[in-house]
Structure 1
Amino acid sequence: MGLEERVLLTLEFWREYRTYFHMGNSTLQPRIRSERLMQAIQFNLQEIYSKPYYPPG
Structure 2
Amino acid sequence: MSRYFSEKQVIEVVAVISLFGFLNRWNDTMATTLESAPKNFAADQLSSQGWVAGKHD
TM-score, L = length of structure 2: 0.43
Of structures 1 and 2, the larger Rg is shown by: 2
